[in-house]
């Protein structure tokens, strides 16, 4: 019999609040975290808006010298991991060899790369920081989390674009499930609001140009959607074997039920027209969970607000769930947080768990004009009270990678 895996702690640093409670209060109230870019001068860019984390001070939880030796994405990861461990009431008394980290990021230390490349061009190679590489490389968040909290078990970093943190939770789930660890801290972060990253996405014509209406720019599944808005932040969850959680009388928030993944093998950025890869990922997660489609109550969609993604995700949901798709509640919290790229999946998983705990569905805001090709219940504009026994969240990434996670209400 496979080991059951439960979630006992969560932490989040997001554009709509620092801490899970602040984030959740913003989501259920429908508050957008999108505004004009402040981290650099974006004049001359097609897109001048992003969902930035406000009032973030890593020095409040770590030595300022230590913080300066971490890229912003690592700071997000370390802080949210600390929150999750505190929420789980884990500080000591565990076997460090059986506690680990799986972390996801799509880009890693882009801010450090951007800054140090400019130093190279302007001042020469001798002025590049000796901390450039240790700050930039993507695995440094997982490494710093392990060092800070004494987690000596499995440790890995995944860079699967917008699937990265969802992949991380799924792989950490498997590690605990097969008995290789008792505790895994899993999730991811992203800090991509930099000149070169924004310029790159602008060149792809992937982002919204609704610069004059930042809070109304992200409108998943709505007829006038024109692209995603980049976000930054991070989130982590504590996964434990049920046996380990019970031994320490832990509070259990939800149970991880299923994990499915697939590849489109189709195109570097576009999904296949009928959503085949998404269909296979959702189907695999349901099979892994041993659940029928009609037992899912809520889907936190990938829902990026791009014309093609939202249409194809709708098609895929209808293919997997059949008639039950009409009864499902589907929402995109990206309408408020923006798209956190590699960190999107973990924030959306946390939203699913909070929905189960609080019996509330976060809305899809800015939903004004329905799109005939997106014809499901997207919980428009206002949160909804509803009991959720099982929730599913989708993450799809450039390169055609797809991840689906299912969490359910915990029952003995």
Q: Is 339 a catalytic residue?
A: yes
> Choosing from 162, 163, 352, 404, which is the catalytic residue?
162
Q: Is 267 a catalytic residue?
A: no
Handedness of CA 81, 5, 21, 95 (dihedral sign): negative
Q: Distances in Å between the alpha carbon of 139 and those of 67, 191, 401?
A: 16, 14, 20
Of 255, 361, 357, 371, which is closest to residue 301 (Cα–Cα)?
A: 361
> Choosing from 163, 167, 202, 302, which is the catalytic residue?
302
Per DSSP (E only), the strands in 113-170 are 155-158
Q: How far apart are CA 299 and CA 302, in angstroms?
A: 9
Q: How far apart are CA 166 and CA 395, in angstroms?
A: 7
Give the residue carrying structure tokens 């440094």: 140
> Choosing from 163, 202, 339, 374, which is the catalytic residue?
339
Q: Is 374 a catalytic residue?
A: no
Give the residue carrying structure tokens 């590690």: 175
Q: How far apart are CA 67 and CA 135, in angstroms?
A: 10
Determine contact, residues 259/170, Cβ cutoff 8 Å.
yes
Strands 183-190 and 99-104: parallel
Determine contact, residues 108/136, Cβ cutoff 8 Å.
yes
Which are the catalytic amino acids? 162, 302, 339
């Amino acid at each position: 019999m496979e080991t059951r895996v439960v979630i006992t702690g969560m932490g989040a640093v997001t554009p709509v609040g620092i801490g899970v409670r602040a984030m959740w209060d913003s989501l259920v109230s429908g508050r957008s975290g999108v505004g004009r870019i402040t981290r650099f001068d974006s004049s001359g860019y097609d897109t001048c808006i992003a969902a930035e984390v406000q009032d973030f001070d890593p020095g409040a939880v770590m030595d300022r010298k230590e913080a300066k030796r971490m890229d912003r994405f690592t700071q997000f990861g370390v802080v949210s991991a600390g929150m999750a461990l505190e929420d789980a009431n884990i500080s000591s008394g565990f076997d460090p060899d059986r506690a680990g980290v799986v972390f996801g990021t799509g880009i890693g230390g882009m801010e450090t790369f951007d800054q140090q490349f400019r130093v190279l061009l302007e001042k020469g190679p001798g002025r590049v920081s000796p901390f450039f590489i240790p700050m930039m490389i993507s695995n440094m968040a997982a490494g710093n989390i392990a060092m800070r909290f004494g987690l000596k078990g499995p440790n890995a970093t995944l860079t699967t674009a917008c699937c990265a943190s969802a992949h991380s939770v799924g792989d950490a789930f498997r590690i605990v499930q097969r008995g290789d660890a008792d505790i895994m801290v899993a999730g991811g972060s992203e800090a991509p609001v930099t000149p070169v990253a924004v310029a790159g996405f602008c060149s792809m014509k992937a982002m919204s140009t609704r610069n004059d209406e930042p809070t109304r720019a992200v409108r998943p599944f709505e007829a006038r959607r024109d692209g995603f808005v980049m976000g930054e932040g991070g989130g982590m969850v504590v996964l434990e074997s049920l046996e380990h959680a019970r031994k320490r009388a832990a509070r259990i928030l939800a149970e991880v039920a299923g994990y499915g993944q697939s590849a489109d093998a189709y195109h570097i950025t576009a999904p296949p027209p009928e959503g085949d890869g998404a269909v296979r990922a959702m189907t695999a997660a349901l099979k892994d969970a041993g659940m029928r489609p009609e037992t899912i109550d809520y889907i936190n969609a990938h829902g990026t607000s791009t014309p093609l993604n939202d249409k194809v995700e709708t098609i895929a949901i209808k293919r997997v769930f059949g008639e039950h798709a009409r009864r499902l509640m589907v929402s995109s919290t990206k309408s408020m947080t923006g798209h956190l790229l590699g960190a999107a999946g973990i924030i959306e998983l946390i939203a699913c768990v909070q929905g189960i705990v609080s019996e509330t569905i976060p809305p899809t805001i800015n939903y004004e004009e329905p799109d005939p090709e997106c014809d499901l219940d997207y919980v428009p504009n206002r949160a909804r009270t509803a009991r959720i026994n099982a929730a599913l969240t989708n993450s799809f990434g450039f390169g055609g990678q797809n991840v689906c996670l299912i969490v359910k209400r915990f029952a003995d």
